[in-house]
Amino acid sequence: MNAFANLLGQSRAVQLLQQAIAKQRIAPAYLFCGSSGIGRTIAAQNFTQLLLTIGLSAEKQHLACRKLHTGNHPDLLWVEPTFIKGGELYTAAQATEQGWQKTPPKIRIEQIRQITQFLNRPALEATRQVVIIEDAHTMAEAPANALLKTLEEPVKATLILIAPDADSLLTTLVSRCQKIQFNPLSSKNLSTILQNDYREILEHPELMAIAQGSPGQAIAAWQQLKLIPDQLLQQLKQPPKTPLEALNLAQAITTQLDSSVQLWLVDYLQYYYWQQNQHPELMETWEKTRQYLLSYVQPRLVWECALLNLISL
């Protein structure tokens, strides 16, 4: 059975990882590069399954796969960016659940120390240990240097760093990793993945454009779109005909949507209107709207100006 059967459109990356297993040339560290939502995490899961079942009997392989599926394999440490509160680390999901106001999460030096402690003990059930670091580019210099020291120590383990590109990490850290590049999917492969559970997305060319070859980003965009009331969305898809209509629409946006959804809405409208008429001046309007919102200009005023500009279209 192909361990990468659930990964579409990344044949070159799959080939490199399968060859590493087949030729027993497994690197101490890998860097999985590419935009989010195109299969890096799925590949890391599949590769980990292979790494942690090497040399095991069929029965033990089955048991290992079951433990990996439930997230409790003793030889796997999965690290993701966290928030810190009261001296405790919390994942993004935990912070969202608590409704905290938060800055972007990051990989912290406390987590690198956990990795070091994890690797200081021998593998318990597999022939090696595996550490996966999601969004490794969120590491500041101190944790990155601490991780570098860990990579310099010979251990029976494989580390997988997941990041957008090599430039987002320290050069010295990248030099310790074998780079595996993941590329945006073709339109055909993107449609194939979305066909079953997210068929509705295929009916929105603006969402497919926003996705830029990433199923994950297409799904995230679809989920964001559903946060916008349908009546408001339909009004926004037609340029206002009068100044009063533009002002009322600006009020509705700022009343019904929070700041993060408003920012996403700007991107959506930019893609939507480009699909409709490819008007360069209008694209400039949306770009200025985004910049003003990010600059903390009064949101209602920003939307009023943007929507009044649409009247002449």
| Tokens 């070091």 -> residue | 116
Q: Looking at residue 95, what is its pLDDT?
A: 72
Q: Looking at residue 43, what is its pLDDT?
A: 97
Q: Looking at residue 122, what is its pLDDT?
A: 92
**Angle of helix 259-277 relative to helix 243-256, nearest 10 degrees?**
140
Mean pLDDT of 165-187: 94
Contacts of 248 (CB under 8 A, 6+ apart): none
Q: How far apart are CA 192 and CA 312, in angstroms?
A: 40
pLDDT at 36 over 90: yes
pLDDT digits (tens, 9 = 90+) for 41-56: 999 999 999 999 999 9
Q: Classify each residue of 127-138 as buried b or exposed e, where b means 16 or more C-beta atoms within 10 Å of its C-beta.
A: ebbbbbbbbbbb
Q: Looking at residue 102, what is its pLDDT?
A: 59
pLDDT at 37 over 90: yes
Q: How far apart are CA 63 and CA 70, in angstroms?
A: 11
| Tokens 């597999």 -> residue | 126
Q: Looking at residue 154, what is its pLDDT?
A: 74
3-state secondary structure of 214: coil
Q: Under CATH, what is the fold of the domain 11-181?
A: Rossmann fold (3.40.50)
Q: How far apart are CA 308 and CA 232, in angstroms?
A: 16
Mean pLDDT of 192-207: 92
Q: Which residue has the higher pLDDT, 96 or 196?
A: 196
pLDDT at 233 over 70: yes
Q: Where are the domains of the chain?
A: 11-181, 187-225, 230-310
